[in-house]
Amino acid sequence: MAASETGRAAVPVAAAPDTSRFPTSARGSSGIAPHPRRLGEPGPLADKSTAAMRYQSPLRYPGAKSGLAGVIGDLIGNAAAELGTPELFVEPFAGGASTGLRLAGAGVVRRVLLADTDLLVARFWQVAAADTEWLIDRMWNEPVTLERWDHWKAWQPSDPQDRDIAVKCLFLNRTTFSGILHGRAGPIGGRKQESAYPIDCRFNKEALAARLRFVGDLYASNRLADVWCKDWADTLTDVAEWYPQLIPNRVIAYLDPPYWSKSPKLYSRSFDPAGGYPERGTSMPGERGKSPLEQHNWLSGLDHYRLAGYLCHHAQVRWILSYDDHPDLTEDENLYAATQMAPSPTDADRQDARQWHITKRLVDLRYSASATRAHRGKREELLITTLPGSSVPLDDRFRAYPSGRRG
């Protein structure tokens, strides 16, 4: 497919490639197929009022960034004049998925695809999407007590397709300090439950049921295209293979990777093997001994470089990246110092090699549910994107990079 800057053609239904290499992590009683879902025509929501809910995600997420959906929505809306409304918005670091859910509900993008390498998170979204009423019934019948917290903390599935993985994710997320799913984080209110905030203070079942039905409605209306349990690299590779008719300009990938700033306190409580991801020996089946961040080298910084190398040299789709602002990110030649994508020598001769301009902006966001006070509150967020540079705002909200820093 030619690498035109704006090529806008009608989007046909995907032809099915060989699916034998796709993992079966989505398979099971939840109704998610063992291979990626074909794109369906997006329809209206059964309950349009849910698209305007203040909080749409059933999950609280460490480091959640309030207001980011609006920022990303504005970027995409501005680019639509040149590229058209995105057919697919991909979140390879789905987490709480608040951005994708809001954009799909509002129609800023036609469809969203969620992916996460954490089985707890991915399985939650799979069941919430395709087996919504089962999960709601299961939630209503679940006592929100310290005893049940201990049960779910200790429980490990023997089958990665077990729907109770979704129950574990939802329960621990709503009852654990800062929504942290793994590691040492304890229950809200502490072991003695003497706090003014007891274990069930974040577990409003009626509100959660409404949010879960919103997720199910997005899936039923084809606005939530699919949910994958894959890392970011496999997700982006498989999107290009499974939906080639959307490449290059009708897919936008939004990536919100773990913090670059290596605050030891943050990681020790939120992401390292004894903190926010699984302790040694308590990971999901097949991943024992390492946390998700440890498995993928986020703590050492290696996967930050791996991600940058892919986005700046190999990406086949338009992308938006958000990071906690840090000088390293735009000063290191192996991260995001470049102002244009540069295909690697092995890719340079490909007809579809991308050489899009890379634009950088700073925006103010409010971080919530973080594991340290240093990461809460108003902070500068770095946005990096290959959306057409002429469409990226430059104003009081989307600020140019400071003099002396590359942007």
Range scoring the smallest mean pLDDT among 44-58, 255-269, 387-401:
255-269
Name 323's bridge partners.
382
Q: Check residue 178 and give its pLDDT.
A: 83
Q: Check residue 10 and give its pLDDT.
A: 42
> Cis omega before residue 388 (within 30°)?
no
Q: Check residue 27 and give its pLDDT.
A: 34
Split into its structural domains, the chain has a count of 1
Q: Check residue 401 and give its pLDDT.
A: 80
Asked, for residue 11, whether it belongs to a domain, the answer is: no
Name 254's bridge partners.
320
Instruction: List CB contacts of 188: < 8 A, sequence separation 6 or more.
Output: 175, 176, 177, 195, 197, 198, 199, 201, 202
CA angle, residues 189, 265, 178, in degrees to nearest 5: 30
Alpha-carbon distance of 280 to 265, in angstroms, equals 19
Asked, for residue 154, whether it belongs to a domain, the answer is: no
CATH number at residue 355: 3.40.50
Asked, for residue 104, whether it belongs to a domain, the answer is: yes
14-46: buried (b, 16+ CB within 10 Å) or exposed (e) per residue? eeeeeeeebeebbebebebeebbbebeebeebe
Alpha-carbon distance of 251 to 121, in angstroms, equals 23
Q: Who wins on pLDDT, 248 or 270? A: 248
**Is 133 buried (19+), middle (13-18) or exposed (0-12) by CB count in 10 A?**
exposed
Q: Check residue 261 and give its pLDDT.
A: 63
Q: Check residue 121 and give its pLDDT.
A: 94
Asked, for residue 248, whether it belongs to a domain, the answer is: yes
Asked, for residue 129, whether it belongs to a domain, the answer is: no
Asked, for residue 4, whether it belongs to a domain, the answer is: no
At 186-231, the pLDDT tens digits run: 999 999 999 999 999 999 999 999 999 999 999 999 999 999 999 9
**Range of the structural domain that residue 234 is part of:** 61-117+230-262+301-407
Q: What is the largest CA-CA distance in the chain?
A: 65
For residues 386 and 342, the answer to whether their CB atoms sit within 8 Å is no
Asked, for residue 1, whether it belongs to a domain, the answer is: no
pLDDT band per the 50, 70, 90 thresholds, residue 257: confident
pTM above 0.75, yes or no: yes
pLDDT band per the 50, 70, 90 thresholds, residue 376: low
For residues 116 and 277, the answer to whether their CB atoms sit within 8 Å is no
Asked, for residue 246, whether it belongs to a domain, the answer is: yes
Alpha-carbon distance of 127 to 28, in angstroms, equals 10
pLDDT at 134 over 90: yes
